[in-house]
Every structure is written in C-alpha cells, then in structure tokens.
Amino acid sequence: MRIFIALEIPQRTKDNLARSAEQFRHFSTAGNFVDTQNYHITLHFLGEVAESDLMYVQNAMDGVKNMPAPRLSLLQFVTMRGSDATAARLRNCPQLTELHDQLGEKLERNGFTVEHRAYRPHITICRKAKFTLPFTEVTKNVDVFNAPFVASQVVLYQSTLTKDGPIYTPLYTVTLPES
C-alpha cells in the first residue's frame, strides 16, 4: 500500500485555504485543485509499504507522541521548485523541523528509507495549475489567511490514486500535546 505520514490541520485553517484556492481559481485555466478535506502537511512520504510493516511505522510515530504540537502559520503562496504544485508555504517553525527530523530518525531505525533533502513544509492546494497571469501577479490578488494554528494530529495515511484524484484514508493517529 502507498502511505505517507502528515500533520492534520484544523478545519478553520482548511476553510481559510479553500477561500484562497477559490481566489486562485479565478485566474486559472487548468489545474487539479486539492479537495479541502485533503489539505495536510506531509512529514514523510514512504511510498509502497507492505501491510505487515505498518506496525513499524506506527512504532516510529509512537516514538514522537510526547513532542509538543507545533504552532504554525502560513507565510505565502509559492510554486514548489521541481514540482508542479501550487502551495501555501509555512513560516519557519523549529518545532515542526524537529518533529520531522525525529520521526525520520525513528523510521530509519525501523528500516525505512526517508528523504534527506531540505525539508520544505507546505500545504498543496493545486497541481498542474496554469494561470492567465504570471504567478507573481496572481498572488497579489490572493489573500493569505495566516492566523496561527496548532497541528496536534500526526496521521498515517494510505493514498489510493484514482482517475478523480487521490483518496487519503487515515490508518493510525498520534496526538501531540499542546503546550
């Protein structure tokens, strides 16, 4: 099964991102907009993993359950370099980076391969977007609703790709304490 681990974001933040996405739609001629309920912050994408190995992923997640939930806010909208994604970039948050790093170490100890490139946390809102104006001009017309939020749910998702877009099924959740 195809899996990834992500931070769930609060509904209010999802609703704010949906309002921004709607503003992007006014300038788009093409693109696959992410369903509002699928907004998340990826911590680690693991790809294809045998169902019998899920317990090792859950064990790694359990290993970070006492870390504090990161307090986050949006910084700006960007196009992700090397990707076709339009995303909300997050303000730098040492707690989020530490969570990512600690979870990665625990996954590696349990036999999983994790990426070691720079972690660039973001929330994807659209893939393969085409706009009527240059992206820098479009973003001048899109509001960034950057009210701080706490992301306390670390979720293991199964990702099933369909012709209508991915379906994310939660398999396991760890709740981080809010400080």
What CATH number was assigned to the domain covering residues 2-175?
Answer: 3.90.1140.10
Compute the mean pLDDT over every residue in the chain, rounded to the nearest whole number.
Answer: 94
Model pTM score? 0.93
pLDDT in tens, 10-31: 999 999 999 999 999 999 999 8
pLDDT classification of 158: cutoffs 50, 70, 90? very high
Alpha helices in 26-73 (DSSP H): 54-62
The pLDDT value recorded for residue 164 is 80
pLDDT in tens, 64-106: 999 999 999 999 999 987 668 999 999 999 999 999 999 999 9
- What kind and span of H or E run contains 50? none
Higher confidence at residue 83 or residue 58? 58
DSSP 117: S
Calculate the alpha carbon distances from 137 to 78, 107, 111, 122, 134 in Å: 12, 41, 45, 21, 5
The structural domains of the chain, with segments of one domain joined by +, span: 2-175
